[in-house]
Every structure is written in structure tokens, then in C-alpha cells.
Amino acid sequence: MNIKPEQLPNNLQNRLEPVYFIFGSEILLVEQSLTTIKDAAKKQGFNDRIRFDIDGNFSWDIIFSTISSPSLFAEKRIIECHLTTGKIGVKGSKALTELTDSIPDDVLLIVSSGKLDKAQQKSKWFKALDKKGVTIQHWEVQSEHLVGWVHNQMTQLGLKPNNEVANAIAYCTEGNLLASMQEIQKLQIAYPDGHIDVDDYLNQIDQQSHYTVFGVIDAALKGDSKKVNKIFSSLVDDATPPVILISSLYREIKALIVMSIELKQNQQIDVILHNHRVWQKRKPLITNALKVHSYQQLQKLLLSLGRIDRSLKGMDNLNVYDELRSILITLSGKIQWIR
């Protein structure tokens, strides 16, 4: 039985199913569901837990032997199986299917894995898990939903949500949910009463970003080419991986292109910035960039960024760092030759 992640708490209130299978590419979301299940199981007497990390060479006899042996600590046990890959082989598929079909009443089977392709979701073992118990798939949190996700996590941890803070966290963690959660947990420690000093926190983030990838992009959007050169040189000296710069620039320029299109459709800039959840401190930067660069210029920058990415992967012959600096200087409003 397949259910949505948000349906899990209600499902657990009714009764525990014999099998739970959680999978998806977002590790944090998978772990959160696993914790919810294990907490509910503990309340129902499942106090003993044994975990197995399973790959294609795993010996499944260990699990069958464990289940057949009486527990020294509790009558009810959780057998947790983490599939390090969805490719568990013919023997693994047969064993997991058999295990699912013969799970005893005093054992709760919890299976988890990362992202599974369509073929794996049509496999015999997958269907066996889905038929016997509950299956939950976690999808990636899309960028347009990230601020809302941060907002919800803040609420769950007892923090008074604030749109500016949520936007700042979403921007600075670039969709990395683990990093976002760590930032939220820092807020929980810093503001135990749940009331965040918004100005103080935003100033902290602003200071922290000065000599980071975010800092160099913001300097470019502001039109400060001298600061761009200074920060970029610092990033190169620190051996910042080019892929981080490429992905961050791609996200920023792509968003500018969309906003540029909306401007051409005579939408108001304030409405556009609001709809794209632009952090208050960045609104002047984005506004400036949209005034300086036309839709065509931004498209050209994006195409150049694509060639830099191909060069990084060995499919083109550009000097990656030099070209990235050129794009940033061009983004700052200083004319550069963009191939």
C-alpha cells in the first residue's frame, strides 16, 4: 500500500503494519520517516532493533537466523534493512520476497533505500514489500517549494517562522536539505524561546557570505567588479570546486532569465520579486541585474556557462576558472568577450 509521507502519522495511529518501505533521493526526508516509524513502534513495545546494511553481496541467511533466534532483550523486535543500492541481485530479490512473506508477528520489518528507477519499482521484491505493508516514496523538494519546507521545519522545532529567515536559509543552502536542517537546528539552539532576532540573524548570514560563492555572485549582481575579482581570487586560492560555482551561477542566471521574461510581459518588478521569493536583502541586487542585462544577454551567459560545464567534464577545452571569472565580470556589468 502506497501512501504519501504526510499521511504516515495518521497511518501509525491506527495500527502498525508488518512492513514499512521508505525510499527516495532525499536522505533527510527518508530518515525523518524512519524515525517517525521507530518512535511509534517503540511505544508499542518494539524495544529491540537490529540494522543491516545490504548490498548485492549480502548474506541474507544472517537475517533469517536473527529472526529465528529469540531476542535476549525484548519480545518485539525491529529488523531494519538499508539497501545501499536497489540492485540487490537475484538471490537478494528472492530472499527479500521470502522474508516479507514470512515475517512473524513479533517482528517489524523496516526497509529503506535511496532513489529507485522505474525498473526497480517493478521488481518482484518491490511489489512484495508494497503488498505486505506500507510504501512511502520521498521526492526531491523542488526549489519553488524549498522556502515552504524550511518554514514547516522551523514550526516543527518550535521556532516562530519568518519568511525572510526561511528565504535566507533556502538561498544559502541551495536546496541541500541536510544543510538547511542544520541551519534551522542552530537557530533552535540560539533562540530557545523560538523568537528569532531577525535583523541579527540576517546580518550574520550576510557577513558569512562575503567570501563565499554566494558573496561573489551577489557582488556581481551589485555591479562591483573589483569585489568580484577579490572574492573570486580568494575562492580559487581556497580550491573551491568549479562545479559549485557553475551550479550556483546556473541557478541564479536561470532565475534571472525567467524574471526577465516576466518583465517583458509588463509584470511589476515588486510582484515578480515577491513571486520568486527573493530575500529582502537581495531585492536591490536582482533589480539592478535585471536593469543592466537584457533577456538575450542572460541567455548568452547561460550558454557560455554550459560550455564551461562541458570543459569541466572534458568535452571542451576552455580554461574553467578563467571563463568563470569572465562570466562573473560580465554579470557585474563590465563588458567581457563571452564565447
Local confidence band at 335 (pLDDT 50, 70, 90 cut-offs): low
pLDDT at 339: 46
Q: Which three cell numbers stand for residue 160?
A: 516562530
Class at the top of the CATH hierarchy for domain 213-331: mainly alpha
Q: Is the pLDDT score of 36 beyond 90?
A: yes
2-138 CATH: 3.40.50.300
Determine the average pLDDT of the residues in 237-257: 90
Alpha helices, DSSP H, located in 102-212: 118-121, 124-132, 143-156, 163-173, 177-190, 198-208
Predicted pLDDT of residue 209: 63
Chain centroid to Cα 156, Å, comes to 18
Kindly report the backbone phi and psi dihedral angles of residue 116, in degrees, each rounded to the nearest multiple of 5, phi listed first. -120, 140
Mean pLDDT for 238-266 is 91
H helix or E strand, kind and range, residue 83? strand 76-83
All CATH 3.40.50.300 domain ranges of the chain, comma separated, are 2-138
pLDDT at 336 over 80: no
Domain with CATH 1.20.272.10 in the chain: 213-331
Beta-bridged to residue 21, according to DSSP, are 111, 135
- Spatial separation of the C-alpha atoms in residues 259 and 295, rounded to whole Å: 9
Please enumerate in sequence order all residues whose Cβ is within 8 A of that of 93, keeping only pairs 6 or more positions apart, or say none: 123, 124, 125
Confidence of residue 2 (pLDDT cuts 50, 70, 90): confident
pLDDT exceeds 90 at position 140? no
User: Which ranges in the chain are annotated with CATH 1.10.8.60?
Assistant: 143-208
Q: Kindly report the CA angle at 117 between 115 and 119, in degrees rounded to 5? A: 145
Per-residue pLDDT, 192 = 92
pLDDT of res. 75: 78
Q: For the residues 67-96, what does the mean pLDDT come to?
A: 83
Choose the weakest-confidence range: 114-118, 144-148, 308-312. 144-148
Task: Write the class of the CATH domain 143-208.
Answer: mainly alpha
What is the pLDDT of the chain when averaged over all its residues? 88
Whole-number Cα distances in Å, 35 to 40, 126, 152, 246: 9, 21, 17, 35
**Per-residue model confidence (pLDDT) at position 238:** 84
